[in-house]
């Protein structure tokens, strides 16, 4: 038994599919399948249930895969301790990002990171907050870009940027007017929100609670882009963080969405970079966060709405 076989087992547990697991491990599917059979023979137990449609781990296989994750995380940390001592900004870095931040923050940050750290290879994974946290704590990710705060003494973090919220409403609607939004304006307004599981939904609900507004029960979006397009189609209003709101100012429907800031104290969210407490790559994450904070578009993400009226 070797570490490679444990990585194969963990990959199958995560993907439930030999082909996808093999691609993640950069081996052929027959190679991965053969090595897992050898692992089963060595342990004298069945780890995987095989059929034509899908691959399932046995209860024992699930238990061993969970232990394998912890073992591999410790081994990876051991390697990174040695590497990070002399070259903190090199090698692979598995980074998760929430879907309400990834499409809007990464296009600004990645070019700067690649230019500054050409030997650092970012392996990006987009997912909902809880799943990213589970992977981070289990060792499947090295770090994650999440909306703060995240409770727990087992994680460390550095702030990246604060995004104010904007009210996005159909152009020409009753909410399309001059001046900042007062929360009282939203009383009785049904705002379209993301589906459950998105942290941004909880933040938007808090704004709704403060404004005593309604909530559009008949519609739940899976992405901010869907919400934006629904606003452009005249279906209703929503809240967009600054980086996502900026996408409404370009493209074929740019005139269909009216954006308004909130009066002070404006609602906002804080994005931060999280990693495990005691991680060997703490120096890497602190330097990454400092670099991202210095990117001009992220230093103070706000919209110059006056330029739209000019």
213 shares its domain with 152: yes
pTM for this predicted structure = 0.74
62 shares its domain with 98: no
174 shares its domain with 305: yes
Whether residue 76 lies inside any domain: the answer is no
Tokens at 90, concatenated? 């090199």
Please give the C-alpha separations between residue 264 and each of 4, 130, 166, 214, 220, in angstroms, as whole numbers: 55, 31, 12, 22, 28
- Per-residue pLDDT at 220: 83
How far apart, in Å, do the first and last CA atoms of the chain sit?
A: 69
Please give the C-alpha separations between residue 45 and each of 7, 61, 64, 68, in angstroms, as whole numbers: 18, 9, 11, 16
The total number of residues shown for the chain amounts to 310
DSSP-derived secondary structure letter, 118: T
In the block, tokens 């589906």 appear at 195
- Per-residue pLDDT at 206: 86
pLDDT at 100 over 70: yes
pLDDT in tens, 139-148: 889 999 999 9
Q: What is the mean pLDDT of residues 148-161?
A: 94
CATH code for the domain in which residue 57 is found: 1.10.10.10
Question: When comparing pLDDT for 126 and 306, which is higher?
Answer: 126
Residue (of 70, 123, 121) closest to 94 by Cα position: 123
Range of the domain at 192: 90-310
Q: What is the mean pLDDT of residues 194-218?
A: 78
CATH code for the domain in which residue 246 is found: 3.40.190.290
pLDDT in tens, 56-69: 899 999 999 999 99
126 three-state secondary structure = strand
176 shares its domain with 64: no
The DSSP annotation for 256-275 comes to: GEEEEEBPSSPPEEEEEEEE
134 shares its domain with 263: yes
Q: State the virtual CA torsion across 238, 241, 247, 253 in degrees, nearest 10.
A: 10
Query: Given pLDDT bands bounded at 50, 70 and 90, which one contains residue 308?
Result: low
- Per-residue pLDDT at 213: 65
Residue (of 167, 264, 256) closest to 208 by Cα position: 167
- Per-residue pLDDT at 146: 97
Tokens at 177, concatenated? 């007017």
Contact status, residue 227 vs residue 191, Cβ threshold 8 Å: no
Q: What is the mean pLDDT of residues 264-293?
A: 93
Percentage of the chain beyond pLDDT 90 is: 62
Whether residue 113 lies inside any domain: the answer is yes
Whether residue 80 lies inside any domain: the answer is no
Contact status, residue 8 vs residue 32, Cβ threshold 8 Å: yes
Please give the C-alpha separations between residue 146 and each of 95, 96, 100, 128, 286, in angstroms, as whole numbers: 11, 8, 9, 9, 15
* Number of domains, the chain: 2
Please give the C-alpha separations between residue 211 and each of 189, 261, 262, 263, 267, in angstroms, as whole numbers: 9, 15, 12, 13, 11
Whether residue 81 lies inside any domain: the answer is no
Please give the C-alpha separations between residue 9 and each of 23, 25, 56, 58, 145, in angstroms, as whole numbers: 13, 10, 11, 12, 27
Contact status, residue 264 vs residue 124, Cβ threshold 8 Å: no
Query: Given pLDDT bands bounded at 50, 70 and 90, which one contains residue 286?
Result: very high
pLDDT in tens, 164-182: 999 999 999 999 999 999 9
Question: When comparing pLDDT for 208 and 128, which is higher?
Answer: 128
Residue 59 neighbours by CB under 8 Å, 6+ apart = none
Whether residue 84 lies inside any domain: the answer is no
């Amino acid at each position: 038994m070797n570490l490679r076989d444990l990585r194969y087992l963990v990959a199958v547990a995560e993907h439930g599919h030999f082909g996808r697991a093999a691609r993640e491990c950069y081996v052929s599917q027959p190679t991965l399948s053969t090595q897992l059979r050898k692992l089963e023979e060595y342990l004298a137990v069945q780890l995987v249930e095989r059929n034509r449609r899908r691959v399932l781990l046995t209860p024992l296989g699930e238990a061993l895969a969970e232990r394998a994750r912890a073992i591999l995380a410790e081994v990876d940390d051991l390697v990174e301790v040695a590497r990070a001592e002399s070259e903190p900004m090199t090698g692979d870095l598995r980074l998760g990002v929430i879907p309400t931040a990834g499409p809007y923050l990464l296009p600004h940050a990645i070019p700067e990171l690649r230019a500054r750290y050409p030997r650092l290879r970012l392996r990006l994974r987009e997912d909902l907050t809880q799943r990213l946290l589970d992977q981070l704590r289990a060792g499947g990710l090295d770090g994650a870009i999440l909306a703060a705060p995240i409770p727990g003494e087992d994680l460390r973090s550095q702030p990246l940027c604060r995004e104010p919220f904007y009210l996005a409403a159909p152009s020409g609607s009753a909410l399309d007017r001059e001046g900042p939004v007062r929360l009282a304006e939203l009383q009785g307004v049904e705002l379209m929100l993301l589906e459950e599981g998105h942290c941004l939904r909880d933040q938007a609900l808090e704004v709704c609670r403060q404004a005593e507004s309604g909530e559009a029960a008949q519609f739940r979006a899976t992405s901010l882009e869907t919400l934006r397009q629904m606003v452009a189609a005249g279906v209703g209003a929503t809240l967009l963080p600054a980086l996502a709101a900026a996408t409404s100012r370009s493209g074929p429907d740019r005139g269909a969405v009216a954006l308004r800031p909130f009066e002070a104290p404006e609602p906002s969210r804080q994005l931060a970079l999280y990693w495990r407490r005691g991680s060997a790559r703490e120096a890497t994450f602190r330097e990454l966060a400092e670099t991202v904070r210095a990117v001009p578009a992220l230093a103070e993400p706000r919209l110059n709405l006056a330029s739209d009226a000019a």
